[in-house]
């Protein structure tokens, strides 16, 4: 059902407020209009594009929280983190991340996103990967968005170890899974 411009723009504001990480393409599909119409609506409403919304949320929320490494060293963009509990990051696969002949993402980029998220979720000045067990579930292609979700499974401060599980998805399809045994200082 087509809506008038005023209704559509109000729904657009509400939708982006509810999910600031929604793409213009998804919004266009949701409201049955062109991507250009969504972009014009955002411009009129002074709503920044997706990349700027993600950066804004990440910078405000997590700059002071991540202790184990500088935020700019995290591969992907952190969109949610509760130290020693869970974290989520987004990684957009671009041309520089894929093999030229088949446009499939190089595995070390997916591993780096998951590993750096496992490091970032640790509430300690020192966090290193001691061991990992990973599986690639399917090939990830250029222009796909990978959402990695880390969950702290067990903290053993006496031995200075934390187990972190990371699952990465493209459109809710599992593409990578990893169990990370993280070393941390014993006095944290």
**HSE-up of 99 (CA within 13 Å, CB side)?**
8
Q: Let me know: does 174 contact 166? Beta carbons within 8 Å.
A: no
Q: Is 106 in the same domain as 42?
A: no
Q: Is 120 in the same domain as 172?
A: yes
**How far are the Cα atoms of 34, 38, 51 from residue 26, in angstroms, in the given order?**
10, 10, 15
For residue 11, give its domain range. 5-47
Q: Let me know: does 142 contact 105? Beta carbons within 8 Å.
A: yes
pTM of the model: 0.68
**HSE-up of 149 (CA within 13 Å, CB side)?**
7
Listed ranges 56-60, 85-89, 165-169; the one with the highest mean pLDDT: 165-169
Domain count, the chain: 2
Q: Let me know: does 126 contact 185? Beta carbons within 8 Å.
A: yes
Q: Is 90 in the same domain as 129?
A: yes
The pLDDT of residue 112: 96
Evaluate whether residue 52 is within a structural domain: no
For residue 42, what is the domain's CATH number?
1.10.10.10
**CA–CA distance, 78 with 98 (Å, rounded to integer):** 22
**CA–CA distance, 56 with 173 (Å, rounded to integer):** 27
For residue 93, what is the domain's CATH number?
3.10.129.10
Q: Let me know: does 124 contact 67? Beta carbons within 8 Å.
A: yes
The stretch 97-124 carries a mean pLDDT of 95
Question: Number of helices and strands (H, E) in the chain?
Answer: 5, 6
The pLDDT of residue 97: 96
State the pLDDT confidence band at 68, using cuts at 50, 70 and 90. Answer: low
Angle at 171 between CA 62 and CA 138, to 5 degrees: 105
Evaluate whether residue 62 is within a structural domain: yes
Q: Is 38 in the same domain as 84?
A: no
Evaluate whether residue 53 is within a structural domain: no
Beta bridge pairs of residue 16 = none
Q: Is 125 in the same domain as 165?
A: yes
Q: Is 35 in the same domain as 117?
A: no
**CA–CA distance, 166 with 134 (Å, rounded to integer):** 9
The pLDDT of residue 64: 47
Residue range 149-184, pLDDT digits in tens:
999 999 998 889 999 999 999 999 999 999 999 999
pLDDT at 1 over 70: no
Q: Is 115 in the same domain as 42?
A: no
Beta bridge pairs of residue 183 = 128, 161
Supply 79's token pair.
Answer: 């969109």
């Amino acid at each position: 059902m087509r809506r008038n411009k005023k209704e559509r723009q109000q729904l657009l504001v509400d939708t982006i407020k509810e999910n600031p990480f929604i793409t213009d393409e998804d919004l266009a599909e949701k409201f049955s209009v062109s991507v250009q119409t969504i972009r014009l609506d955002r411009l009129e409403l002074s709503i920044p594009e997706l990349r700027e919304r993600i950066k804004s949320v990440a910078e405000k929320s997590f700059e002071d929280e991540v202790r184990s490494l500088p935020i700019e060293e995290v591969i992907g963009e952190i969109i949610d983190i509760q130290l020693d509990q869970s974290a989520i990051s987004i990684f957009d696969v671009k041309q520089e991340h894929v093999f030229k002949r088949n446009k499939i993402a190089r595995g070390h980029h997916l591993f780096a996103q998951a590993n750096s998220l496992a490091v970032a979720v640790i509430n300690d000045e020192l966090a290193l990967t001691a061991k990992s067990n990973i599986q690639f579930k399917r090939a990830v292609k250029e222009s796909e968005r990978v959402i990695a979700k880390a969950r702290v499974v067990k903290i053993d401060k006496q031995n200075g170890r934390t187990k972190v599980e990371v699952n990465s998805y493209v459109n809710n399809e599992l593409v990578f899974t990893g169990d990370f045994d993280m070393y941390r200082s014993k006095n944290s």
